[in-house]
Amino acid sequence: MTNIVSELIKQEVEREESTINLIASENYAPQNILDATGSVLTNKYAEGYPGKRYYGGCEIVDKVELYAIEQGRKLFSCEHINVQPHSGSSANFAVYLSSLKPGDTILGMDLSCGGHLTHGHKVNFSGKIYNFIPYHVSPETEQLDYNEIEILANQHQPKMIVAGASAYSRFIDFEKLYDIAKRNNTLLFIDIAHIAGLIAAEIHPSPIPYADFVSSTTHKTLRGPRGGIILSKLDHAQKLDRAVMPGSQGGPLMHVIAAKAVAFDNALSPEFKTYQEQVVKNSKTMAQEFKNLNYRIVSGGTDNHLFLIDLRNKEISGKETEKLLEQAGIVLNCNSIPFDTTPPTVTSGIRIGTPAVTTRGFKESNVLQVVHWIDELIKNRNNTDFTKKLKVEIHDFCKKFPIYKN
């Protein structure tokens, strides 16, 4: 490794070790994931699928991919899994490609209500290739409005309904979506990128019995390598696999597929369930304490690993808060709240997630401390000495929770 890159990696280790990470989509990959990702499997070209490759020398990587498939199917109790997508976006691209034609109509959750770019945003391939009709959360409850979805499905007769979110703190009623999809003879596609770990640990309802397709990333709550997967009913397996390779990808990343297999193994352990339970306990504890301190939580609370805070009554924007907290060593992202009137680069809210801090060992008392630090920083936003003092305190606190023991 060049000295420059090696030095930058050391700096990133130090940054991660010395700051509190509340980004809901991030986590710390365990050492066995890093080992697999950093292995010689990166050397191998293996276009195709096990037993049907376009290259020689694939006998070992075939076994790796078959093992990943076996463990993935066991973990999610699904009929079919494709472990090759390079990312969540690639996975979603392949799902659409497998079953739709350009211009087909899809219902997708509006990004500003917590959806994802690949669920039909106009600047994304999804919104450019397909005719997306957005659905929203109810302005009153800030929870999914299933009536609106039903009305839109009736009106537009979509070929597919896509659900799943990157900033939505409530359980999604997959059975209700299935009923709507069935009544309207449309495919149901659920993106579980954020909640895959909770589903694997059986502490969140699973869409797998209901959905035609389920996509996910593997690096968020699932705590594996950066990458994607797609689960499907057996009926869709062949066209789905063809949509991944050769439809939209070339050579699979065999080192990452190996790490996905390790992540599935990790997630099948009893410790993983305990971890996910703690993730949700920490999230609920933080949301409640913010409420006690007069912060408005979007939808009134959380059922999962994240929640959104509406900062308007504190007279500070999401972006200002993100910057302020980062100066003290607390890392999170500003986030639009439903029906936000400020631009997405400014926002009226912040998103808080607990997967990463829970991995490093934070329990309820620790996250309560973090809530109070955030509140104090917001109250003392113009006092740079206070921010500097807290930065030192947070740095020392982080040392008690090492991420990588070696």
Over the window 148 to 177, marking each residue x when it contacts ligand DSN by CB under 6 A and - when it does not, the resulting string is ------------------x-----------
Q: Which residues make Cβ contacts (< 8 Å) with residue 35, sequence separation at least 6?
A: none
Q: Residue 109 in 3-state DSSP?
A: strand
CB of 119 vs ligand DSN, minimal distance in Å = 10
**Percent helix / strand / coil, the chain, rounded to 5:** 50, 15, 40
Active site residue 218: no
Judge whether 298 and 169 are in contact, CB under 8 Å.
Answer: yes
Q: Residue 291 in 3-state DSSP?
A: helix
Active site residue 233: no
Active site residue 220: yes
Site for ligand DSN in 25-84 (CB under 6 A): 25
Of 19, 118, 186, 217, the catalytic one is: 217
Active site residue 104: no
Complex with ligand DSN: residue 98 or 124, whichever CB lies closer: 124
Alpha-carbon distance values, 43 to 9, 46, 261, 302, 374 (Å): 22, 10, 18, 43, 45
**What are the E-state strand segments in 110-227?**
131-135, 160-163, 187-191, 213-217
CB of 45 vs ligand DSN, minimal distance in Å = 28
Preceding amide of 225 cis, omega within 30: no
Alpha-carbon distance values, 257 to 44, 126, 193, 336, 349 (Å): 12, 25, 17, 34, 36
Residue type, 172: I
Of 176, 226, 273, 291, the catalytic one is: 226
Total of residues contacting ligand DSN (CB under 6 A) = 4
Active site residue 110: no
CB of 176 vs ligand DSN, minimal distance in Å = 24
> In 3D, which of 193, 205, 268, 187 has the Cα closest to residue 229?
193
Complex with ligand DSN: residue 25 or 98, whichever CB lies closer: 25
Of 220, 223, 260, 391, the catalytic one is: 220
Active site residue 310: no
Judge whether 333 and 320 are in contact, CB under 8 Å.
Answer: no
CB of 175 vs ligand DSN, minimal distance in Å = 25
Complex with ligand DSN: residue 28 or 67, whichever CB lies closer: 28
Site for ligand DSN in 101-120 (CB under 6 A): 116
Of 17, 35, 47, 376, the catalytic one is: 47
Complex with ligand DSN: residue 48 or 108, whichever CB lies closer: 108
Handedness of CA 37, 40, 43, 49 (dihedral sign): negative
Site for ligand DSN in 359-378 (CB under 6 A): none
User: Is 101 buried (19+), middle (13-18) or exposed (0-12) by CB count in 10 A?
Assistant: exposed
CB of 214 vs ligand DSN, minimal distance in Å = 16
CB of 352 vs ligand DSN, minimal distance in Å = 12
Selected binder of ligand DSN within 48, 72, 85, 88 (CB under 6 A)? 88
Catalytic residue annotation? 45, 47, 191, 217, 220, 226
**Given the rule CB under 6 A, which residues bind ligand DSN?**
25, 88, 116, 166
